[in-house]
Amino acid sequence: MTRHILALAWLAMLAPPAAAAPPSDTADDTALEALLKREVQGPSRYAQSLMDAPASVSVLEREESNALGHQTVGDLLARLPGVYLSNSRSYSALGLRGFNRPGDYSSRVLMAIDGQRVNDAIYDQGLPQLELPIMAEWVKRVELVHGPGSSVYGSNALLGVVNVVTLNGADAPGLTAQGSIGEQGLRRVEMHYGASAAADRDVFVGLNLQRSAGDNLYLPELGTPDGWVRGLDGERQAALLAKVRHGDWRLSLNAVRREKDAPTAPYGTLAGVPGTTYVDSIVLGEVSHDPGWQGDVRRSLRLSVAGYEFRGRYVFEQAPDLINKDVARAQWTTLEGRILWRGLLNHQLMVGAELRTSPYGMQRNYDVEPRHVSLDSNVTQDSAAIYAQDQWRLSSTLHLTTGLRVDHVRGFSPALSPRAVLAFRPDERESFKLMWARSFRTPNLYERFYEDDGLTQVSNAALKPERVNSAEATWEYLLPSGHAFSANAYYTRMSRLIEQVPLSDDIGAIVQYRNIGLVSLRGVDLGVEQRSAAGWLWRASASWMDARNDAGQRLSNAPSWMLKGHVVTPQWHSWQLGAEWNLVGPRLGRVDVPSTAGLNAHLRYQIDARQSLALHVSNALDRSNSDPSTPDTALNSIPQSGRSLRLDWRITL
């Protein structure tokens, strides 16, 4: 595709059913088109083919994540400029642009797998670590599209869109199995199988099973007899990905079940007592049809069916037991059709329509014995959206992308999400982009309808959608030596932000979600990377962020600076080392947390052509880092893991 409308994250779903048969058998224009898709050797490859995309996009590929010993998509995302992860020891969270409110579930970032939305229909969760149904080993690359993306993706794409592009069978042929053991009782088995026949048949299957006992934590604030909480940080996860491509058709099934013990005594549960746990399950299924370009037109259709279930178990008293349970369950089905048209010279037009229905979105809260139901809510949701985007080549160096999407969610007034990007490409090595966009997020069912007899939360059916306006500028530059530089500056304003508001001054007061926030996020991300001819590969980035509310106060869990980087050595006699580091500035919270530092190293030894052994050290400097506390717990801050070792053995058959 020379006219590059596809290049954003939704590229994945639009990729043609790989260039078919050999050129000699096909029409002249198909043969030329296939030729224009072939990669050229040279430094431009390192720009990850996204300088031309109508957005600022950061990418991390499989090769790098593999050498750094990544296991989760969050590990990959943490390498990208401007991203910071946090962990409440119940859930992980993804921060962008200095925005990562404690207790949020990353609902302001749209998370997608091969273009299919992951954010669920109850909490809007799209969480980056083991909550996600994809493991790092199944990822071909992760793309982070910076800034609002609602003009194509709809709700949730406020601060960015993460698209996880998974492997095809052709990318990883054969069976690969991996076993890991590590400290904190880590046991993990991961395997994947890929196969492809001809150009139009492809299968990929991945399976992951893991568990860990987690840390014994010294949490004196919780008032356990000796201040320790032991054996309550366990995590168990199983994930599956299966996808098949046959001709123009693609079918995929993706599922995860994650169980996490909560050591932080959330919501006033008993501290130091087992049994308070969270279980999250997601199933995503999709069938899509894309016959590729037929003359000037390309039509694609996808139908996806998704389900999500949350089960929370809370131990409030023992002997006699008082167990409270939270259950949330939702199902949603989405039908999306899209047409690309290139019949007008120097333009590429895209129009699309999306229908979504969620026949049930159930939330229930009850005490087990004596049985008492305090919440029983079930809501049906429907939405319809249409969108259009035009990419207009003004000259060989300038293009303008404009887009508009209208979403109508039942019960809310229509939301308009426009977007405009002007991109200037003076030559192959340099690009400038200016972008302005508006996005929205519909309040989710948890924010609107969760109410548990006045124990923790009061519902608010009157919530309105959040809004974001953002302007940003990006510069990318490539040197012949293989150095690539990037700079991205943004000014993002979020209005009617939905935030938890305590209804009294007491600690542990009942909360309600309200449209109160007005937040501005300003910042700059600078990045540099190089692949040297000798095989070294390194990246570094520096971010400055200023996230404030309308009173001018800094937001909680918002660092004002961040420095990160990684380096991968060439293979030297069967040995290869990858190392990554993160420095994150101090963050405000219930108690402010000082700056954190993390260093991970991954040393791999290739035993023979099929087997390798690797030693992974995370937090190698054994720094005691903390994340700001989340509202559900009485802790002042959440301690993070110290140094831990892991051994991976991998075999490919």
Partner 1 sequence: MLPTLAGAQAASPESLKAEVIYRVLMFVTWPPERETPERGLQICTLGEGSVEGALRSLSGRPIRQLTVTVRRLARPDQHAGCHLLYVPAPQPALRTALADAPVLVVSDAAAMLDQGSMINLQVEDGRIVFDVELDAARRAGLVISTKLLRLARFVRHQTSAP
Residues in contact with partner 1 by the rule CB under 8 A: 1-4, 7, 11-12, 15-16, 18-19, 28-29, 31-42, 44-45, 47, 49-52, 114, 140, 165, 168, 170, 198-199, 296, 342-343, 345-346, 393, 395-396, 425, 427-428
Q: What's the closest the beta carbon of residue 558 comes to partner 1, in angstroms?
A: 34
Tokens of 259: 């169980």
- Bridge partners of 402? 390, 420
Q: What's the closest the beta carbon of residue 24 comes to partner 1, in angstroms?
A: 12
Q: What's the closest the beta carbon of residue 431 comes to partner 1, in angstroms?
A: 9
- Given the complex with partner 1, which of 338 and 564 has the nearer CB atom? 338
Q: Rounded to an integer, what distance in angstroms lies between the CA atom of residue 600 and that of residue 618? A: 4
Coil, helix or strand for 546?
strand
Kind plus residue range of the DSSP H or E element containing 34:
helix 28-36
- Beta-carbon neighbour count of residue 380 at 10 Å? 10
Q: Rounded to an integer, what distance in angstroms lies between the CA atom of residue 314 and that of residue 611? A: 44
Tokens of 171: 């990318």
Q: What's the closest the beta carbon of residue 395 comes to partner 1, in angstroms?
A: 6
Inter-residue contact 556 to 98 (CB < 8 Å) = no
Identify which of 330, 327, 328, 210 has the alpha carbon closest to the alpha carbon of residue 260.
Answer: 210
- Given the complex with partner 1, which of 181 and 251 has the nearer CB atom? 251
Sole residue written with tokens 């037109």: 297
- Given the complex with partner 1, which of 28 and 505 has the nearer CB atom? 28
- Given the complex with partner 1, which of 46 and 436 has the nearer CB atom? 46
Give the sign of the dihedral formed by CA 639, CA 640, CA 641, CA 642.
negative
Give the sign of the dihedral formed by CA 545, CA 547, CA 552, CA 553.
negative
Q: What's the closest the beta carbon of residue 11 comes to partner 1, in angstroms?
A: 8
**Strands 511-531, 457-458: parallel, antiparallel or unpaired by DSSP?**
parallel
- Given the complex with partner 1, which of 344 and 621 has the nearer CB atom? 344
The answer, yes or no, to whether the previous bond of 370 is cis (omega within 30 of 0) is yes
Q: What's the closest the beta carbon of residue 17 comes to partner 1, in angstroms?
A: 9
- Given the complex with partner 1, which of 298 and 616 has the nearer CB atom? 298
Q: Rounded to an integer, what distance in angstroms lies between the CA atom of residue 60 and that of residue 276? A: 36
- Given the complex with partner 1, which of 161 and 265 has the nearer CB atom? 161
Q: What's the closest the beta carbon of residue 264 comes to partner 1, in angstroms?
A: 40
- Given the complex with partner 1, which of 132 and 165 has the nearer CB atom? 165
Q: Rounded to an integer, what distance in angstroms lies between the CA atom of residue 555 and that of residue 492? A: 14
Q: Rounded to an integer, what distance in angstroms lies between the CA atom of residue 627 and that of residue 89? A: 10
- Given the complex with partner 1, which of 238 and 242 has the nearer CB atom? 242
HSE (side-chain half, CA atoms, 13 Å) at 141: 16
Q: What's the closest the beta carbon of residue 44 comes to partner 1, in angstroms?
A: 5
Residue 77 backbone dihedrals phi, psi, to 5 degrees: -60, -35
Rounded to an integer, what is the distance from CA 1 to the centroid of its chain?
A: 27
Inter-residue contact 260 to 238 (CB < 8 Å) = no
Q: What's the closest the beta carbon of residue 67 comes to partner 1, in angstroms?
A: 20
Q: What's the closest the beta carbon of residue 580 comes to partner 1, in angstroms?
A: 25
- Given the complex with partner 1, which of 168 and 365 has the nearer CB atom? 168
